[in-house]
Structure 1
Amino acid sequence: MEHLFAIFVFVFQQSLEDLGTPLHEVTFCVLDFETTGGRRNIDMITEIGAVKYRGGEELGTFQTLIDPGCAVPPEITVLTGITSAMVSRAPKMEHVLPTLLGFLEGAVLVGHNVGFDLAFLNAALRRSGREAWKGQKVDTLAISRRLIRNDVPNHKLSTLAKCLRLPHQPNHRALDDAHATADLLHHLLELASALGVLGLDDLQQLPTMQRHPQAKKLRLTEDLPRSPGVYRFINKRGEVLYVGKATNIRSRVRSYFSSDKRRKVDQLLRETELIEHTVCKGPLEAEVLELRLIQNLRPRFNRRSKNWSQYVYVKLTLSERFPRLSIVSEPKGDAGFYLGPISSRRVARDVVDAIETVVPLRRCTKRVPRQVTAGPCVAAQIGTSVCPCSGEVTEEAYSEIVDDALLALSNHPEKLLKPLRLRMLGLASQQRFEEAADLRRQAFALSTVLRRQYQVEALRSFGRVVFEDFRTGLTTLENGCLVEFAGETGGVGMERNSLDGVTGKREVAELWCVANWLDTEAHNLRLIYCDHPLSSRYPCLDNFQIKKDLALV
């Protein structure tokens, strides 16, 4: 059985599923507008022309004049031949939009300088109270500049149609121009196919792809599949530079050569000599594999998931006579109560401040003597904590405070979060907004840490669980971590913390990932097997986002 980190295998003969959306299966709708001018928010559409194609076959046309609600400027009439009299009895744009949108539905919008036509379309949609058009688009102007840049004097549609001897010649009438643009599209598709452009995603990336300074390394992406999984950039010494995940490996990796302008990416591509990949069943498997690879390989260009060693814990020092809260780097084999791991010391400090706002635990860090040796500390003098050093509280009375804190942190978080929200609202009502904002930040940190703590504790208590996702098949979890990939047992397990009940730093990122997956994908899952009942006794927690009660204070 091959384990999780088996040798990466490249697939040279791609399956039909790996081809993405083949261009011959894409429905293209070529759209052209005639307008009263070039200002999308002021000028109006006077004519619509659209032609729909699939596999080179014309499926239908759409053409109509539009009443712009204003006179057609003389210079526009000279250019297009459209007069005010011609459009005076034409329908208004708002009456035509439903039919036009139906014609465009499910198609990839095509235009010569498609941004111009799309801007006028979205302006019309906005005026009628509709949302902007969000479909995919292809610009023949940008593609022609990439493929035939040196073959024509310019890239105007009329020039291209003449030089390429296209069947239709544009004449500034919408339908004729749409037909000419469609002819140009088909000519460009033939040229692009010779470069290995077979899918829609490749066609859309083509205008920016070849101008990248590292474009020669695009050959490294030729055999990448269009499947979910994990990819690795590797240098000439065999060192892994970067690990990433994607729902479409090929499209994501090729995007580094086009849309990503970060200097860090440019340096990554300069050093890359090989790109390897692993195909995964779905997003969870890909994300977990990415996490494990980053933790084991520590790639130089990855930031995410490498800082787990800097995580900290908030500890309630139950082994002391008078327990207190402290921030520690590692849990110890003592009787302490631990919250975490927490991603940074700053967040941990906010958690401690939030707890101490409600529970008057001692703030001093020195050992409490048996005999009274000093007066109350500053925190005790202002009433925010008790002070065992001054003898004002007995061990029995202090143990009740500690028990209340443990009960709130373990089972009843509302005993902490509700007083925090009330105090935050009180500060806001007194116009002490900076203090209210600080308290809100601290309360949010506490709520987030508790929510994650409860999720992780629940996951680790489930034992072995098997889910079935109708899209990706079986998923097996062991104490909250993924242990089975594509029906085969993973050979690399996560490092466990030796202390019962305390989550280790290395495993917590994967546990958070699995918890989020269960929250978002529960409606797609069917439980096949579980060692223990899947239930959580923890309530939904206040996330301390801005609410109406705070906004109205």
Structure 2
Amino acid sequence: MTSPPASIEELLPTQRSFEDIGEPLSQTTFVVVDLETTGTSPGAAAITEIGAVKTRGGEVIGEFQTLVDPGAPIPPMIVALTGITDVMVSAAPRIEAVLPAFLEFLGDAVLVAHNAPFDTGFLRAACRAHGYRWPGNQVVDTVTLARRATTKEEAPNKKLSTLARVFGTAVEPNHRALEDARATSEILHRMLERVAAFGITHREDLESLRNPMPERIRKKSAMAAAVPSKPGVYTFRGPRGERLYVGTSKNLRARVKSYFTTGEQRRSVRDMLELAVGVDTIVCATELEANVREVRLIAEHRPRYNRRSARPERTSWVRLTEERYPRLSVTRGVEGPSGALGPMRSATDARLAIEVLQGAIGVRTCTTRLPITPRASARACLLKDLGACAAPCVRGADSGYDATARAAREALERDPTTVVSVVERQIADHAAGLDYERAAELRDGVSAVVDGAMRAQRLGSLARCSIVAVRPDGEWWDVVAVRRGALVGSERVRAGVWEAADRLRALTSDLGVDSPVLVEERELVSRWIETPGTRLLYVDGEWSSPVDGAGRHARWVDARRADRTVTGVLRRT
């Protein structure tokens, strides 16, 4: 195979793509609902009538109407307003009998209401009270829509009766559920015609109604006009052609358009949009390919507004130095030296791992390069007296430090069990003495060692072989080819999986010397291959992790991760 592409554009051309998933408003199903109730609070009042109109493309395709027995007398003021009396609802079904039919009628349509929080509040409360799951449909409030679609001069207020007059609806609102829903439906479609000029033309654009973008940014939505509704990678470019931001999406057009219509609140993203003058896209065959392309583009071009993956050369590794009496040190780079622990997840993890290794094995902590034969003037530090270091600085080859170095190499390269055993006892001692802070520090340190060793073994094994694998996705199959941990090709097919695999396998033949593979790319590939349901079609070389390796101690990594999750939840609450 040829080496991984020097430029991302050289990656295998896409063979097929996912089906388009952008939905124009002309094809969107809306259910406009209106409720009549005995009061204004869902906790103290009840529903007396539900009316709903289902439309698509401006045409009515269904209606739903029923009176509801509220289970209590209707206040006289409500009777005067709606005309619904206790006699009218005496034979009507209770809300628990009505909800299943209404939820079925609603389906996955966009739910529309005038002053939507009122109607959805009652419906949610009813579902909660009677054990029905609220479906969580997208909601459009015609009051909010009216603020975008009408001026103060033509509609000084946004009452339903006022909007009906502005748009000349055929149905006049009269505080009966179905009639009000019909009027609201007419108003909805008239207003959607108006807001199309603001770039609200697809279902995903409706979210912008709640938090609109500034006009100067919204006008840039024209950038999305030529973007395909396909999965892949998008790149915003600045006035000098520089790459500002790289991202991925299953629907490129919808994602790019959302930047200009969904009221983005992140300051950095708004600053990026102020500068953006264009957007480039690359359609990808598979989601994995899109993710890999994104990582490579970020590493290659280092866009100003991408934080993740921007500095791969800063990846930390823990290694033993090349000297007679080696010590532990941190090295940085895209790939670590042979026998190094890592890639570490952070510089902090590298430091924690070194501290634990030094304490558990007795690796020297001094940074001086020691001579083979100690100088006559050499003096040992306190660690010698504490029995925590063999002190080769004064004892030389007779110190027994060679055994320490061998134990350190074993922990770094293969099995950290010795370190885990020592630190486990230390943690138990500190916990018994109620020194939980120190116990937690040691737990984090041994977790960093185990995690670094596990990653070294997993990614190292992947780097020594070539793999062609396939994963089902509905009626499609994603086929990918990997060499030395780098993605070299992918296809998405409905049939002919083995034919695709054979084509991709040809790309993994060993030709030339490969360039370094980004750690994040190897992680993406490794997670994809290890996901349940993935099937290996070809493995050239050996892909495995040692049974007696670091994976035996994964519980320490899990414990630290669980602790961080709980801490994060407590901070948010």
Q: Same fold (TM over 0.5)?
A: yes
Alignment match of 2:320 (pick from 309, 316, 319):
316
**Distance in 2 between the 1:183 and 1:421 partners?**
70
Alignment match of 2:308 (pick from 304, 307, 322):
304
Alignment match of 2:486 (pick from 469, 481, 501):
481
**Per-residue CA distance 1:427-446 (angstroms, 9 max, x = gap):** 34433222233223323333
Contact persistence 1:26–1:200 (CA under 8 A): yes
Q: What displacement does 1:354 show?
A: 3.0
**Partner in structure 2 of residue 513 of structure 1:** 524
**Distance in 2 between the 1:59 and 1:332 partners?**
61
**Partner in structure 2 of residue 340 of structure 1:** 342
**Partner in structure 1 of residue 178 of structure 2:** 175
Letter in 1 for 2:269: V
**Per-residue CA distance 1:358-384 (angstroms, 9 max, x = gap):** 333222222445348666533454555
**Distance in 2 between the 1:60 and 1:328 partners?**
67
**Partner in structure 2 of residue 291 of structure 1:** 295
Contact persistence 1:29–1:53 (CA under 8 A): yes
- 2:413 is aligned with 1:410: yes
Q: What displacement does 1:201 show?
A: 1.7
Specify whether residues 315 and 156 from structure 1 end up closer, same or farther in structure 2 by C-alpha distance, changes over 3 A only: same
**Distance in 2 between the 1:368 and 1:534 partners?**
40
Aligned length: 528
**Distance in 1 between the 2:191 and 2:421 partners?**
64
Contact persistence 1:48–1:65 (CA under 8 A): yes
**Partner in structure 2 of residue 23 of structure 1:** 25
SS, match of residue 138 in structure 1: strand
- 2:533 is aligned with 1:528: no
**Distance in 2 between the 1:139 and 1:449 partners?**
51
Specify whether residues 460 and 42 from structure 1 end up closer, same or farther in structure 2 by C-alpha distance, changes over 3 A only: farther
- 2:273 is aligned with 1:269: yes
**Per-residue CA distance 1:12-62 (angstroms, 9 max, x = gap):** xxx995472233443322222233333344444333222323344434333
**Partner in structure 1 of residue 497 of structure 2:** none
Specify whether residues 292 and 472 from structure 1 end up closer, same or farther in structure 2 by C-alpha distance, changes over 3 A only: farther
**Distance in 1 between the 2:471 and 2:365 partners?**
50
**Distance in 2 between the 1:68 and 1:445 partners?**
60
Contact persistence 2:243–2:301 (CA under 8 A): yes
Contact persistence 2:213–2:264 (CA under 8 A): no
**Partner in structure 2 of residue 98 of structure 1:** 100
**Distance in 1 between the 2:244 and 2:424 partners?**
45
Letter in 2 for 1:64: T
Task: Give 1:155-194 correspondences, 5 Å limit.
Answer: 155-192=158-195
372-381 or 293-302, which deviates more: 372-381
**Distance in 1 between the 2:120 and 2:90 partners?**
24
TM-score normalised by the chain length of structure 1: 0.82
Letter in 1 for 2:487: L
**Distance in 2 between the 1:446 and 1:333 partners?**
15
Q: What displacement does 1:479 show?
A: 0.9
Identity of aligned residues (%): 38
Alignment match of 1:214 (pick from 199, 217, 236):
217
**Per-residue CA distance 1:307-331 (angstroms, 9 max, x = gap):** 22222221123x4333321122359
Task: Give 1:466-505 correspondences, 5 Å limit.
Answer: 466-467=469-470, 471=476, 473-484=478-489
Task: Give 1:381-396 correspondences, 5 Å limit.
Answer: 381-382=385-386, 384-389=388-393, 391=395, 394-395=398-399
**Partner in structure 2 of residue 443 of structure 1:** 446
**Distance in 2 between the 1:78 and 1:357 partners?**
82
Q: Gaps spanning 5+ residues in structure 1: where?
A: 10-14
**Partner in structure 2 of residue 240 of structure 1:** 243
Specify whether residues 275 and 296 from structure 1 end up closer, same or farther in structure 2 by C-alpha distance, changes over 3 A only: same
**Per-residue CA distance 1:178-227 (angstroms, 9 max, x = gap):** 22222222323444556665432234435645644312211111111222
Contact persistence 2:391–2:401 (CA under 8 A): no
**Partner in structure 2 of residue 134 of structure 1:** 136
Q: What displacement does 1:460 show?
A: 0.7
SS, match of residue 256 in structure 1: helix
Contact persistence 2:8–2:296 (CA under 8 A): no
SS, match of residue 309 in structure 2: coil
**Partner in structure 2 of residue 545 of structure 1:** 559
Q: What displacement does 1:304 show?
A: 1.6
Q: What displacement does 1:294 show?
A: 1.6
**Distance in 2 between the 1:111 and 1:27 partners?**
14
SS, match of residue 5 in structure 1: helix
Contact persistence 1:443–1:544 (CA under 8 A): no
**Distance in 1 between the 2:279 and 2:209 partners?**
20
Letter in 2 for 1:399: D
Contact persistence 1:331–1:338 (CA under 8 A): no
Q: What displacement does 1:83 show?
A: 4.4
Specify whether residues 374 and 128 from structure 1 end up closer, same or farther in structure 2 by C-alpha distance, changes over 3 A only: farther
**Distance in 2 between the 1:210 and 1:330 partners?**
41
**Distance in 2 between the 1:393 and 1:84 partners?**
100
SS, match of residue 559 in structure 2: coil
Letter in 2 for 1:50: A
**Distance in 2 between the 1:332 and 1:192 partners?**
52
Q: What displacement does 1:457 show?
A: 1.0
**Partner in structure 1 of residue 54 of structure 2:** 52
**Per-residue CA distance 1:476-530 (angstroms, 9 max, x = gap):** 21111012255899xx99xxxx9x9xx95x621211221222234x41x443333
Letter in 2 for 1:366: T
Alignment match of 1:328 (pick from 320, 325, 331):
331
Task: Give 1:59-138 correspondences, 5 Å limit.
Answer: 59-83=61-85, 86-87=88-89, 90-138=92-140
**Partner in structure 1 of residue 571 of structure 2:** none
The CA RMSD over aligned residues, in Å, is 3.8
Q: What displacement does 1:410 show?
A: 3.1
Q: What displacement does 1:297 show?
A: 1.5
Letter in 1 for 2:299: Q
Letter in 2 for 1:482: L
- 2:214 is aligned with 1:205: no
Contact persistence 1:243–1:294 (CA under 8 A): yes
**Distance in 1 between the 2:105 and 2:86 partners?**
27
**Distance in 2 between the 1:269 and 1:77 partners?**
53
Letter in 1 for 2:115: N
**Distance in 1 between the 2:365 and 2:353 partners?**
14
**Distance in 1 between the 2:428 and 2:101 partners?**
52
Q: What displacement does 1:63 show?
A: 3.0
**Partner in structure 2 of residue 12 of structure 1:** none
294-303 or 38-47, which deviates more: 38-47
**Distance in 1 between the 2:69 and 2:334 partners?**
74
Letter in 2 for 1:347: D
- 2:267 is aligned with 1:253: no
